[in-house]
Chains A and B, each alone.
Chain A
Amino acid sequence: MENEALNKAVQDLEARFGGTSRIFRGQVQVELPVGQIVAAATALRDEHGFEVMPDITAVDYWPQTSPRFHVVYQFNSVSKNIRVTVRVPLDGNEPTLPTMTGVFPNANWLERELWDMFGIRAEGHPDLRRILMPYDWEGHPLRKDYPLGYEEVQFTFNYDEIDQRKPRPKE
C-alpha cells in the first residue's frame, strides 16, 4: 500500500478491531468480526476521514454454513481519495448483525435490502421492512438455496393442472 492514510486506517482496523487485511487487484479488503463492525465504521468515519459508505451487500456461500454469508461494506473517503472494502463473515441460516444506521443514515435502505434479499437481520434498525419484494413475500431471493424460478407454459390440455400450482399472493 503506497497511500499513507490508507495504510494508517488499515493498520488501525487490524490493531484495534481484530481485522485481517489483504490487497487484491489493487483494492484493499479487510475482514472484521461482526461484533466490531459498528465501532470500526465509526472509527473509519471520525478518525480516518471515510465520509461516505456507498454500499452494503452480501455474498451467500451456501451450502457452506460457517461462514454462510459475507456481508460486504464499502467505505470511501472523498477528501483523501481512498477506498476500503470491509467483509464481515456471518454463520448460520438466520444471521444478525448490528445496524449501521447510527453511523451512516443511508444504511437504512441498504440494510432493508440486505434483509429482503438475504434474510440478514440488522438489529436495532428503525424500520426493517422488505424493500424490493412485496411485503408478504416468503423467502429471500438472492440466497443460493432460493431457486431461480420460471413460469410453466400453460396449454389447453394442462391449463388447470398448472393453474393450481401457480404461486399467487396469500389471501
Chain B
Amino acid sequence: MAMLDRMDVTLDELKHLVSDQALEGDTLLLNMGPQHPSTHGVLRLLLELDGEIIINCIPDIGFLHTGIEKNMEAKTYIKAEVMTDRLDYLNTMGNNLAYCLAIERLAELDVPERAQVVRVIFAELQRIASHLVWLGTQALDLAAMSVFLYCFREREYILDIMEAASGQRMMTTYFRPGGLWRDVPVEFERAVRSFLKYMPGRIQQYEDLLTKNPIFLDRVRGIGVMTKEQALAWGATGATARGSGVTYDIRKAMPYSGYEQYDFDVPTHTAGDVFGRYMVRMEEMRQSLRIIEQAINRLPMGPFRSNDRKFVPPPRSELGRSMEAVIHHFKLWTEGFNVPKGSVYQVVESPRGELGVMLESDGGPKPYRIKWRTPSFSHIQLLSWIANGHYVADLVAIIGSVDIVLGDTDR
C-alpha cells in the first residue's frame, strides 16, 4: 500500500507537465524505461500518446546518479582522476584530458610535446571508438543488426591499443596532470598505423550499408528536426549542433593540446534531422583518422611527462639514488599535490559535444568544487520537445541520434 501512495505522488508531481486530456484518460501515459534497450542506459521517458503519436515526452534522469562530484571533493587530485573515467564511459580518454587540462591550467603546468601528441592520438581514437558505439546502437535501434556487429569489431581494435598503452580497455586513467602515466609501448606506432590502413575501408562499408539504404533513409530523414537557433538556445553542442548547421568545434575555436597544428575540417550538415547528425558523425570519423595520421607522423621523442616534481612523481630509477626523489614520491602519494587557489572553466570537444570542467581550488590537495558540464545532460533535455509529433518508433531514432550516455548525464 505504501508503494502505491508513492506512485501517486510521482504522478501528482508531473501533472502540470502533461495535458488535461491525459488526466481524463483521453490520451495514454506510457513509461518507456528506465530499463529499455533503446534508451541506451537507465533513462526513463514518460510519454503522453495520442494513438501512436507523441504529444508530450518527459525525460526523467538520475537513475545512475553516483555522486561523483561530491566524491571527488573528498579525494586528492590523483585519486579523483579514476572517477573521471566513470562519467562518460565511452569517452574515458577525453574525460581524463579535460580533467588534466583543468589542473594544468590552474597550476600553470607545462606538458612536453610527446605527451601532447600522444594525448591527441588517444583522444581521436577514443572519438572514433565512441562514434562506433553510437553508429552500432543507432543502426541496431533501426533494425540493422550487421552494422552493430561490424562496429563493435572495429572498436575492439581501438580498445586493444588503449589496453596496450594503459593496461585497461575502458577505464584508462592514462593521462595524468603534467603528461602521461607512462610512455606508449614500442608496438604503439605500428598498431596505430595498421589501424589507419584498416579503418577507412570499414567506414566506407558502413556507409554502403546505411547511407544509400532506402529503409534506413526513410527512418531518419525529416525526423527530430532542430533548427540552428534552437540548437544554440538549448545548449546543444558537438555533432548534435553541427548536424543543425552550427559551425563550432572547440578543437578549432579554442585549441588545446596543440590541435591548432593539425589540418582537419569541421563537418556540418544543414538538415538538422537524424540524418544530418548521422552524416556529421560519419565524416567526423574520417577527420579523426586524418588527425591521427598527422599526429603519428610527427610523434616526437622525448619525455612523456613534465619534470615538475611538485606535481609529477619522479621516475622509479631515481628512488634508489636520490633522497629528494624519495621525499617527492612520499609527498605525492600521501598528501598529493597542492593546486593554487582559483577557479577555471576548461572545455574540450568530447565525441558528444562540449565537455566542461569547472574546477575550483582552495589551494589544497583536493578539488574544492569540481563541476562536470556534460554534453549528454543538455542533449537529453532536447528530448522534452524534439520528439513531439513523431511516432514512438521515431523516438528511438532520435534518442540514438543525440548520442547520450547516461553515466555522463547523471554523474
Report A's interface with B, CB cutoff 8 A.
Answer: 24-27, 29, 51-55, 57, 59-60, 72, 74, 76, 78, 81, 83, 85, 104-106, 108-109, 127, 129-136, 141-142, 146, 148, 169, 171
Contact = CB atoms under 8 A, between A and B. Distances in A.
A52 B232 contact: yes
**Residue picked from A52, A53, A135, A142, most chain B C-beta under 10 Å:** A52
B344 A25 contact: yes
B345 A27 contact: yes
A105 B106 contact: no
B159 interface: no
A27 B344 contact: yes
B373 A55 contact: yes
Contact of B232 (A27, A55, A78, A85): A78
A133 B233 contact: no
B70 A141 contact: yes
Contacts of B65: 132-133
B325 to A, nearest CB: 29
A159 to B, nearest CB: 23
B347 to A, nearest CB: 8
A104 B233 contact: yes
Interface residues of B, number: 45
- The main secondary structure of chain A at its interface with chain B is loop
B52 to A, nearest CB: 26
Contacts of B69: 142
Contacts of B345: 27, 55, 72, 74, 83, 85
B235 A57 contact: no
Contact of B360 (A52, A53, A59, A148): A59
A132 B61 contact: yes
Contacts of B254: 81, 83
B358 A29 contact: no
A55 B371 contact: yes
Given A25-B106, A132-B61, A54 B235 contact: yes
B13 interface: yes
Interface string B138-150: 0000000000000
A133 B9 CA distance: 15
B265 to A, nearest CB: 17
Contacts of A55: 345, 356, 358, 371, 373
Contacts of A52: 232, 235, 237
Contacts of B10: 135
Nearest to B411: A132
Given A74-B345, A109-B381, A127 B237 contact: no
A125 to B, nearest CB: 12
Contact of A106 (B344, B369, B381, B410): B381
Pairs A-B, 3 closest by C-beta atoms: A106-B235, A55-B373, A132-B62
Given A109-B377, A131-B62, A135-B10, A51 B343 contact: no
A134 to B, nearest CB: 8
Interface string B257-283: 000000000000000000000000000
B344 A24 contact: yes
Contact of A135 (B13, B232, B342): B13
A67 B118 CA distance: 43
Given A57-B358, A78-B248, A51 B16 contact: no
Nearest to B355: A54
13 contacts: A25-B106, A27-B345, A51-B232, A51-B233, A54-B235, A55-B358, A59-B369, A83-B254, A105-B233, A129-B13, A133-B65, A134-B62, A142-B369
Given A57-B371, A142-B70, A25 B9 contact: no
